[in-house]
Amino acid sequence: MIILFISFMTLIPFLGFSPYIMRIMILSGIYIILALSLNLLTGFTGIVCLGHAAFYGIGAYTSALLAIHFDLSFVFTAIAGGVVAAFFGLLLGLPTLRLNGTYLSMVTLGFCEIVRLVGLNWMSLTRGPMGLTGIPFPKILGWVIDRDAEYFYLVLILIIMTWVILNNLIQSRAGIALIAIREDEVAAEAMGINILKYKVLAFAISAFFAGIAGSFYAHYASFINPQSFTFDESIQILSMVILGGMGSNLGVALGAIVLVSVPEMLRGLQEYRMLIYGAVLVIMMLTRPQGILGNPKALKIPRNN
């Protein structure tokens, strides 16, 4: 089934879609990576992060600056963007993950705002509100990616890599430990699980993939500024996770596609677009409070017989 789906996706650039539709699909791919990365933190570990856009922005600026000043390959700049974002995830996680609930969420919100303000005021590095322009096309082994079809294939590869790595992690012992922490921290600690270690691990891995998404976005858009990585963006990503179903990778991927494509489909109804958009979300919350594909029973921790 998965092979058939991937085969179908590889045919999309040949189906004659307009550049506008291709752009929506590419943006959906970016948000799928962001939603999958946040799902590890919020859906499987139970940490509500309100600052995921900060890691997204850190990855974007890291990759853009390396490409502009050193003309490096996208493979290197993307990995560097992910590693730097993961590093800041560690810096944020180590001192704050002893907090819980609302307090931790407020810290992540504050971190997002700090990153935005640094981006606005560090003129010599980020050019402040003017943003970074002239970000080069991504290059891989000398091949320059500059067409929509090529960007689509690249984001598809990144989605598959993110999906496979996170899915394997969730099914491993570490994944079981993360789910145990989400269900009951006290009980998990009593079973010998190092709470802080696994929370920091989830934070760093989640930030890493957000940085990868940011790197792709920077090269695709060829222009970034701090307004692209605000608190509103964090809420948008969190909404995708909640709408799709926390703890369901397929669900959050669908949530990302819905929240990117529905506003575009309603663009012709300019006066009523946000009203319809809000009504759809409210109906979803009333009819499927667990999300599109949320299934709490599927998240039970396996028991050894």
Comparing CA positions, the residue from 77, 82, 64, 112 lying closest to residue 237 is 112
Among 50, 42, 49, 30, smallest CA distance to 247 is for: 42
3-class SS of residue 215: helix
In the chain, what are the domain boundaries?
Answer: 22-232
- Walk along the chain (305 residues) and give the pLDDT tens digit of each residue: 566 767 777 888 888 889 999 999 999 999 999 999 999 999 999 888 999 999 999 999 999 999 999 989 999 999 999 999 999 999 988 888 777 778 888 899 999 999 999 999 999 999 999 999 999 999 998 889 989 999 999 999 999 999 999 999 999 999 999 999 988 888 988 888 998 899 999 999 999 999 999 999 999 999 999 999 999 899 999 989 988 888 889 889 998 998 898 877 777 666 666 677 677 767 776 777 677 776 554 444 444 43
CA angle 218, 74, 118 (to 5 degrees): 40
What does the alpha-carbon distance between residue 156 and residue 26 come to, in Å, rounded to a whole number? Answer: 9
Q: Count CB-CB contacts under 10 A for residue 211.
A: 32
Q: What is the DSSP string of 10-25?
A: HHGGGS---HHHHHHH
CA distance 53 to 114: 12
